[in-house]
Amino acid sequence: MRQSDALYLDACATSPPAAEVLAAMAAVDRDAWANPSSLHGFGLCAAESLERSRLRLAELLGCEGEELLFSSGGSESIHLALLGVAAALPPGRLLISAVEHSATRAAAERLRCSGWDVQVVPVNHLGQVDAAALQLLLAPPTRLVSLIWGQSEVGTLQDLERLGGLCRSAGVLLHVDAVQVVGHQPVQFQALPVDLMSLTAHKLQGPRGIGALLVRRGLPLHPLIGGGGQERGRRGGTEPVALAAGMARALELAHARLSDHDGSDPVAALRDQLLESLLAVNGVELTGPDPRAGQARLPHHLSVLVSDRCGRPLAGRALVRALWCEGIAASSGSACSAAGPAASAVLLAIGVPAERAGSGLRLSLGPWLEPTDLQLVAPALERAIDHLSA
């Protein structure tokens, strides 16, 4: 299968960089390529470009420029948020949900090894955090909570206002993984009951290798990477000026799409069209929230369980390979856990039986798609199921 002929439905893993993003990066690489810490004219030009990108991102995200620091991506931002804040606190309890990204689980395990008590807050069958359980666990010695806002495998959107309000009332710091949310709905950091927020560029048609962490003003944060004191002493290393410009341009494009559609992501209409066609295929079952019932779900995300013609669960990874032979690029779950066990920890957490928790298929969309493209997906899935059933 030639990539140029394939249909890309794996935006939650990464997204193709927009032409405008590539152009913005090329211009910076040409005109502002120097080290932004250098004091000569070349360095000052690079520093100006970097700060323009920072201020533009801050404007679009509803925070101050000094509250935004650049990182290499979502995983680093998550680690910096949890480990950097914890380093300024006495050991206590960290709460994470049962459907967190593997980066959050890894950072939590490092804190456990440092003497922190890590507890997992349960979720319901839709992947929504149990607010009553969270409230009970917010009692001392809980000092820090980390929640994923938009779940990457089953598409669940948490009620951030409610959950964040509980943390605020208890005086507990809250970090939010917003990697899958930014670019798909308006975000105003300072208006949210949140203390830290992680995001990345490549999920919204920006470049790989850059992300950001938003940190509430005045919150102590110890760096994970020392060195030259960049990012206000919170992350050492020469900043990637061109990548920052690409990230800012990507968020501008996403923000423009939202503004043109009254704050809603227009890809949701394509998602709903695809959902209807997929559920007409025998052996396909939706996981996570159902947008047809008004349940909150990432607008660009679908996830299903798939069985063969005899009702037996099909391996998600086998489905991904079979769909690629049909010209469809999809995923069996989080790309960051592609080397992990077949059964998804997230599907197990929402109550999917173990024998079916390896049959998940994720299809995630973006603005490069047209309605006619999606007419090809359900027939391709039918053929893939027939092939694997045989």
For residue 224 the two structure tokens come to: 């994970």
Provide the 8-state DSSP code for 383.
Answer: H
Question: Which string of DSSP letters, residue by residue, matches 145-188?
Answer: EEEESB-TTT-BBP-HHHHHHHHHHHT-EEEEE-TTTBTTB---
Contact of 220 with 214, CB cutoff 8 Å? no
Which element (helix H / strand E) includes 7? strand 7-8
The two beta strands, 68-71 and 211-215, are antiparallel
Contact of 29 with 242, CB cutoff 8 Å? yes
User: Is 310 annotated in the active site?
Assistant: no
Residue type, 367: P
Cα Rg, the chain, nearest whole Å: 21
Which element (helix H / strand E) includes 318? helix 316-325
For residue 213 the two structure tokens come to: 């962490």
Catalytic one among 113, 167, 325, 336?
A: 336
Q: Which residues are annotated as catalytic?
A: 336
